[in-house]
Amino acid sequence: MRLMQTTQKSKTQHVELLVIGSGPGGLKAAIAAAKLGKKVVVVERKPYIGGAGIQTGTIPSKALREAAYLASRLAFRGMRGSSSPISHNENFLDEIVKRKDIIVDNKEAQNHKQLELNHVKLIQGEASFIDEHTMSIKDGPNSETVYRAESIILATGSRPRRPKDIPFDKERILDSTSIMHMNTLPKSLLVVGGGVIACEFVTIFAPLGVKVYLVDSHEHLLAYLDYDITDILASRMKDMGVHIQMRTKVVSIERERDTVITTLDNGEIIKTDTLLYALGRQPNIETLNIKAAGLSADDWGWIPKNEVGQTSQPSIYIVGDLGGTPSLASTAMEQGRIAVHHAFGHDKDAPAPLLPMAIYTIPEISTIGSTETALKKDGVDYFIGRARFSDTARGEIIGDKEGMMKILVAKDTRKILGVHITGESASELIHIGQIIMSLGGTVETIINNVFNYPTLAECYKNAALDCMNQINQTRQS
């Protein structure tokens, strides 16, 4: 679905909210403001809406991931515990991409419908500041409209970081956007990076029979998470046949005909059909002319903001990936709602202090709250409760032998400080821990509740009982 370009002459229009960018954060902000009765305009420079969330990132990659997951299950008669690659034909990825495109089109149509129902005006154009309340929108070859708004929300998102010394060609040397346009499976793939995007794509392509290499400079994958969680992921990757090299840097990347040649700092040379460079993202601010609005960015291009997204200019807010970490679609949507409510004096609700994170690898990883690393750094005393999926009836039924849940509990108050899960449906299970933590629940709160049987949610009770055993042993000593 494509946006229609306007053909208006240059003139000034007045609105209450101007939203630049139509990703998850921008769309949620626009609809939230419309529901408050505000006149809202959304500006999108692309000929489609949804940003990375719908078009190039969240939804497309998860659609591919689901296809890879289902294919690997079917190959072993539904036994989810097996992670060996499947056999595939050359048209397999093309079929997956077509299915992904259908999902993307459906989500885009749904968002268009939401904007229409809430009377939000949507235009295609390139926006740049004139001052802190005014923006020029170039909405045609020889057409420009000036909008003056009470408040402006910047939701222009981010894009893959593309260093100049990497010879990206959108064919064999790819970033996380261009890899979504592949229509045939490569025989081999080197992934540079050990973060979320890198790990997700590794576990998409490896189960599909692609020979995958991963190279990263950190000590372990997803370095900001606890090692016992990421170690399970690394183990599963190795079971899939992935060659992992940590504490290793890439010296050079070259293409010779149909081969990508990568030289590592340990002297090793890896030759693959394709390469995915997945080391960081950068903000989309180049065309915004932020200086005209009195804004400035740091050396990496990020614009400082407070907890409600407000910048140094009270009328300008930032939501979504443009604001940097945690760069999650779910967080962006909440940031959009919070920013709008603050801008129009409806900020009775404080921003959520607890944000769940999900990583859609195979297996999934999801966390909320503190890590052990953070608690140790802050000098917080805590207990650890662990539960294995394989110790539950549901875990045994689905064949998830490595899934694990870990809860971190404060020694003095027994409140839950963090929940970390890796395994089947981790992204769903985490919300139980989120609610318990949001309500100030304790380890006893979990123990005193009943969980359906058989379910993976029983792991909460098993982990809480494991923790209580340690508490009782401490009392006796």
- State residue 91's pLDDT score: 66
**∠ CA(155), CA(332), CA(52), 5° rounding?**
65
Share of the chain above pLDDT 70, in %: 92
67 has pLDDT over 50: yes
The predicted model gives 377-401 an average pLDDT of: 94
Asked whether the beta carbons of 17 and 39 are under 8 A apart, the reply is yes
What is the Rg, in whole angstroms, of the alpha carbon atoms belonging to the chain? 24
The predicted model gives 65-71 an average pLDDT of: 77
The predicted model gives 403-430 an average pLDDT of: 96
Share of the chain above pLDDT 90, in %: 72
Domain 363-472 annotated CATH 3.40.50.2300: no
* Residue located via tokens 């072993």: 76
1 has pLDDT over 80: no
List, for residues 84-120, the tens digit of each pLDDT value: 445 555 566 777 778 878 888 898 999 999 999 999 9
360 has pLDDT over 80: yes
Q: How far apart are CA 108 and CA 95, in angstroms?
A: 20
Of 205, 189, 190, 184, nearest to 86 by C-alpha is 205
Q: Higher-confidence residue: 299 or 367? A: 367
Confidence band for 81, pLDDT divided at 50, 70 and 90: very low
173-279: CATH homologous superfamily?
FAD/NAD(P)-binding domain (3.50.50.60)
List, for residues 137-162, the tens digit of each pLDDT value: 998 777 889 999 999 999 999 999 99
3-state secondary structure of 154: strand
Confidence band for 439, pLDDT divided at 50, 70 and 90: very high
Tokens standing for residue 360: 């859609």
Tokens standing for residue 355: 């944000």
List, for residues 257-288, the tens digit of each pLDDT value: 999 999 999 999 999 999 999 998 999 999 99
Asked whether the beta carbons of 297 and 290 are under 8 A apart, the reply is yes
3-state secondary structure of 4: coil
- DSSP letter assigned to residue 52: I
Tokens standing for residue 77: 């008669």
- State residue 352's pLDDT score: 75
List, for residues 284-334, the tens digit of each pLDDT value: 999 999 999 999 998 888 999 999 999 999 999 999 988 888 888 889 999
Residue 297 exposed, middle or buried by CB count within 10 Å (0-12, 13-18, 19+): middle
Helical H segments across 90-241, by residue range: 92-117, 196-205, 227-239
Confidence band for 82, pLDDT divided at 50, 70 and 90: very low
Of 236, 200, 215, nearest to 60 by C-alpha is 200
Domain boundaries, the chain: 12-159+282-343, 173-279, 363-472
- State residue 3's pLDDT score: 54
Q: Higher-confidence residue: 324 or 365? A: 365
Task: Tell the CATH topology of 12-159+282-343.
Answer: FAD/NAD(P)-binding domain (3.50.50)
Confidence band for 59, pLDDT divided at 50, 70 and 90: confident
Q: How far apart are CA 458 and CA 450, in angstroms?
A: 8
- State residue 89's pLDDT score: 56
- State residue 112's pLDDT score: 93
- State residue 226's pLDDT score: 94
Provide the mean pLDDT of the chain.
90
- State residue 10's pLDDT score: 59
Q: How far apart are CA 123 and CA 146, in angstroms?
A: 13
List, for residues 336-355, the tens digit of each pLDDT value: 999 999 999 987 666 778 89
Query: Chain-centre distance of CA 382, in angstroms?
Result: 29
- DSSP letter assigned to residue 370: -
Length of the chain: 477
**Who's near 270: CB < 8 A, 6+ residues apart?**
190, 213, 215, 261, 262, 264
454 cis-preceded (ω within 30 degrees of 0): yes
Same fold, 12-159+282-343 and 173-279: yes
376-411 burial: b if 16+ Cβ within 10 Å, else e: eeeeeebbbbbbbbbebebbeebbbebbbbbbbbbe
Return the percent helix, strand and coil in the chain, to nearest 5. Answer: 35, 25, 40
76 has pLDDT over 50: no
163 cis-preceded (ω within 30 degrees of 0): no
